[in-house]
Amino acid sequence: MSGTGPSESTEVETPDARLEDDRTFDAIVVGAGITGLHQLYRLQEAGLKVRLLDAGSGVGGVWYWNRYPGARFDAESYSYGYFFSEELRNEWTWTEEYAGQPEIERYLNFAADRLGLRPNIQLNTRVASATFDENEHVWIVTTEAGEVFRTTFFITAVGILSAPQFPRTPGLDQYSGEWYHTALWPKEEVSFAGKRVAVIGTGSSGVQIIPFVAEDAEHLFVFQRTPNWVTPINNFAITAERMAEIRATSEAIYQACLTSPSGSPHSPMNMLSTDVTPEERDAQFERLYQAPGLTMALGNFRDISRNQSANASLNAFLANKIRSRVNDPEVAEKLIPTDHGFGQKRPPLENGYFEVFNQPNVTLVSTVDEPMTSFTEKGIQTTEQEYELDMIVFATGFEAVTGSITRMNITGKGGQPLDEYWLDGPRTYLGLQSANFPNLFYVGGPQSAAGTIPRITETQVDWVTECILYVLENGYSEVTTTTAAEDEWNDHVNEGIKGTLQETASSWAFGSNVEGRRRAYLLYNGGQPQYRQKIAEAKDAGYAGFVFNK
Ligand code: NA7
């Protein structure tokens, strides 16, 4: 498609020329997760010479790395997968409403095979840097193994929760026991049996792994900094009949996802909590508590996420649930969030989480009451005592949204490093590009993604593919955006979060889980339908806000 494709000349190629050809691409995509695989498929289908790089030894992205016990979807399995391929929809069978990590990893491997993606995927390859060459209008991409590639387009599909972060507590190198991060979990089986284990972190990953550790460990210490509003997942098996129904109604499911703000089959109720009596309201909360997945968060009364007192009524309901499930009243109170209301942060889903704290082999340690001061040879030292441990599990989350992009050391025009450009928070236009970083696209990057990620990134994948083809077909060498367009998008993004209950939360969506990180809203709160409309409008207006250079 572009001038960098294989030569049609009949001259015999020298080994050097072949090598050169092997390292020069129309597009390089980074990330073999659900979004990167889709992007590769589209570009491959369009006839481009494209390579996908991924640090893992297999495809799957977050579903490759997060192989800890208990890792599973919090979106309905069939709402998360690819809808664009009838073949995939008809041939794949989900076994659970919320599939576990092994099944999801199998699905993405199945998709990579079925879509014929393997020949263009290079695994075990971590990008070390990407630098824009202004003279040649290409990106020079280097890998940690020392390979150097040239590519016209550089596309990051690296996920928003994929750059693991650790506590700044010193001394981990002194610790002599085993330690793991949930997002870097080994393929080999990890045994908790008979061990003294600490799990640090009580977000989604902590909440999912804790019951598994509690089952086998001699003793489990749960190090909690901030309690979360955690609700039951209420998972269930998908029968053959149900799977047939899912296939038969797949288009309707897809349409429900497209029209919902969260890109899921759930939409908020058409009612306010004040439209009913407090008793009726609580009865509805009870139904939602028994309902599957994120129904409590995404299918609740409309005012729960917007109105402080409506939100408080749900918090009171959920606090009582915790009190009813945890025997020790002191422990129960420690597990009840006081710094945020339900939905201000993405709520983790649980299966038997609260009951764990009734087990004699489990201790809840609040790092607010007794901060961790260091890791020691034997375990963790807090301001109160030393905890001797055989294993530490870090469920401490991520440098969210931008971390996996900036860790690639991207340098744009004028030698501008992207991490410096984003020091005060990400700057993008439509979450797709940044000024002075020509031909660099983000799919599933900052200021665009929220909700069920594949439902929004599939739109971006199509948009980016069409934009790339537009550049090539018109003989342009570069597409970029402007700082004015970025300013406009930043204002729109910030306007969308202003006045909401989420605005005041201390969450990864604002980068506030990483010490020292400047607070900036990293996602897009306008809802997926509005985002889709915005990027379609820009394209229909002749790529308004984008600049094309010959
Ligand atoms: P999260 O949701 O960011 O959770 C990380 C947890 O680790 C959270 O409880 C943090 O407390 C805690 N944490 C982080 N650093 C520390 C230190 N230094 N000391 C003590 N505790 C700490 O990541 P997850 O992997 O659980 O889930 C991420 C998303 O994946 C989730 O939203 C789902 O959408 C899927 P904090 O709350 O910051 O005080």
Residue pLDDT, tens place only, 220-266? 999 999 999 999 999 999 999 999 999 999 999 999 999 999 999 99
Protein residue whose Cα sits closest to atom 4 of ligand 1: 203
374 and 447 share one domain:
no
Enclosing H/E stretch for 442? strand 440-442
Question: Could you give the CA distance from residue 545 to residue 440 in angstroms, rounded to a whole number?
Answer: 15
Task: Please give the average per-residue pLDDT across 141-164, as a whole number.
Answer: 97
Give the position, in ligand 1's atom list, of the atom nearest the Cα of 202: 9
- Residues contacting 247, CB < 8 A, separation 6+: 89, 90
Predicted confidence (pLDDT) at residue 5 exceeds the cutoff of 60: no
- Flag the least confident range among 11-25, 107-121, 512-526: 11-25
Q: How far is the CA of 337 from the centre of ligand 1 (A)?
A: 14
Q: Is the pLDDT of residue 1 over 70?
A: no
Ligand 1: residue whose CA is nearest its atom 31: 204
390, HSE (Cβ side, Cα atoms, 13 Å): 13
With a cut of 60, say whether residue 10 has pLDDT above it: no
Nearest residue (CA) to ligand 1, atom 38:
513
For residue 240, the model assigns a pLDDT of 97
Say whether both 361 and 215 belong to one domain.
yes
Q: Are residue 357 and residue 468 in the same domain, yes or no?
A: no
Average pLDDT value for the chain? 94
Last residue of a domain, one of 281, 314, 347: 347
**Per-residue model confidence (pLDDT) at position 311:** 96
Q: CB-based burial of residue 272 (10 Å sphere; 0-12 exposed, 13-18 middle, 19+ buried)? A: middle
Helix axes 250-259, 528-540, angle to 10 degrees: 80
Same domain assignment for residues 429 and 501: yes
**Model confidence at 58: pLDDT above 90:** yes
For residues 373 and 9, what is the distance between their CA atoms, to the nearest angstrom? 66
Quick one: what percent of the chain has pLDDT higher than 70?
96
Specify the ligand 1 atom closest to the Cα of 508.
3
What local confidence, expressed as pLDDT, does residue 17 receive?
Answer: 52
Pairing of the two strands 478-481 and 546-549? antiparallel
Is the separation of the CB atoms in 238 and 246 below 8 Å? yes
Distance 226 CA to ligand 1 centre (A): 9
- Å from CA of 409 to ligand 1 middle: 25
On whether both 174 and 218 belong to a single domain, the answer is yes
Query: Where on the phi/psi map is residue 452: left (φ > 0), alpha (ψ -120 to 50), or beta?
Result: beta
Residues 363 and 414 in one domain: no
Of ligand 1's listed atoms, the one at least distance from the Cα of 169 is 18
Is there a domain that residue 240 lies in? no
Q: What is the mean pLDDT of residues 181-201?
A: 98
Would you place residue 4 in the very low, low, confident or very high pLDDT band (cuts 50, 70, 90)? Answer: very low
Same-domain check for residues 322 and 429: no
For the chain, state the CA radius of gyration: 24
Are 126 and 144 contained in the same domain?
Answer: yes
Taking CB atoms within 8 Å and a gap of at least 24, the contacts of 325-332 are 325/354, 325/355, 326/354, 326/355, 326/357, 326/358, 327/357, 327/358, 328/357, 328/358, 331/357, 331/364, 332/357
Whichever domain contains 541, its CATH number is: 3.50.50.60
Question: Tell me, what's the pLDDT at 16?
Answer: 52
Residue 236 falls within a domain, yes or no? Answer: no
Side chain identity, residue 366: S
* Lowest mean pLDDT segment, chosen from 204-218, 335-349, 510-524: 510-524
Beta carbons of 299 and 266 less than 8 angstroms apart: yes
Residue in 304, 226, 228 with CA at minimum distance from that of residue 269: 304
End-to-end CA distance of the chain: 17
How many C-beta atoms lie closer than 10 Å to residue 108's C-beta? 21
pLDDT higher than 60, residue 379: yes
Q: From CA 29, how far away is CA 152, in angstroms rounded?
A: 11
**446: CA distance to ligand 1 center in Å?**
19
- Residue 375's domain comprises 166-228+351-397
Predicted pLDDT at 449: 74
CB 30 within 8 A of CB 156: yes
Above 80 in pLDDT, residue 14? Answer: no
Residue 384, domain member (yes or no): yes
The single-letter DSSP state of residue 26 is E
Torsion of CA 391, 164, 349, 185, to 10 degrees: -50
Average pLDDT for 533-547 = 98
243 within domain boundaries: no
Nearest CA to ligand 1 atom 29: 204
Reading the block at residue 326, the tokens are: 């945890």
Flag whether 235 is in a domain. Answer: no
Number of folded domains that form the chain = 3
Ligand 1 pocket residues where CB is under 6 Å: 161, 167, 182, 200-206, 223, 225-226, 346, 367, 395-397, 508, 513
Residue 257's nearest CA partner among 39, 43, 84 is 84
Using the mean position of ligand 1's atoms as its centre, give its distance from the Cα of residue 145 in Å. 31
Same domain, 317 and 358: no
484/494 Cα distance (integer angstroms): 15
3-state secondary structure of 217: strand
17 within a domain of the structure (yes/no): yes
At 242 the pLDDT is: 97
Indicate the pLDDT class of residue 42, thresholds 50, 70 and 90.
Answer: very high
For a pocket test of ligand 1, which of 221, 345, 396 has the largest count of ligand atoms closer than 8 A to its C-beta?
Answer: 396
Ligand 1 atom nearest the C-alpha of 372 is: 19
Same domain, 140 and 62: yes
Q: Residue 3 — very low, low, confident or very high, per pLDDT cuts 50/70/90?
A: very low
**Nearest alpha carbon, ligand 1 atom 12:** 201
pTM of the predicted protein model: 0.94
Q: Which ligand 1 atom is at minimum distance from the Cα of 182? A: 25
Residues 177, 140 share a domain: no
**Which residue's alpha carbon is at the smallest distance from atom 34 of ligand 1?**
346
Domain boundary among 347, 371, 386: 347
| Ligand 1 atom at minimal distance to the Cα of residue 513 | 38
- Chosen domain end from 397, 414, 433: 397
Burial 407-435 (b: 16+ CB within 10 A, else e): bbebbbeeeeebeebbeebbbbbbbbbbb
Collapsing DSSP to helix, strand or coil, 512 comes out as: coil
Instruction: Give yes or no: residues 311 and 358 share one domain.
Output: no
Region of residue 425 (phi > 0: left; psi between -120 and 50: alpha; otherwise: beta): left
Please indicate, yes or no, if residue 413 is contained in any of the structural domains: yes
Per-residue pLDDT band at 516 (split at 50, 70, 90): confident
- The reported pLDDT for the residue numbered 450 is 85
User: Quick check: 74 and 349 in contact, CB under 8 A?
Assistant: yes
Choose the residue to mutate in 185, 221, 224, 225 for probing ligand 1, maximizing ligand atoms within 8 Å of C-beta: 225
477 CA from centroid of ligand 1 (Å)? 42
Asked whether residue 238 is domain-assigned, the answer is no
The better pLDDT of the pair 19, 412 is held by 412
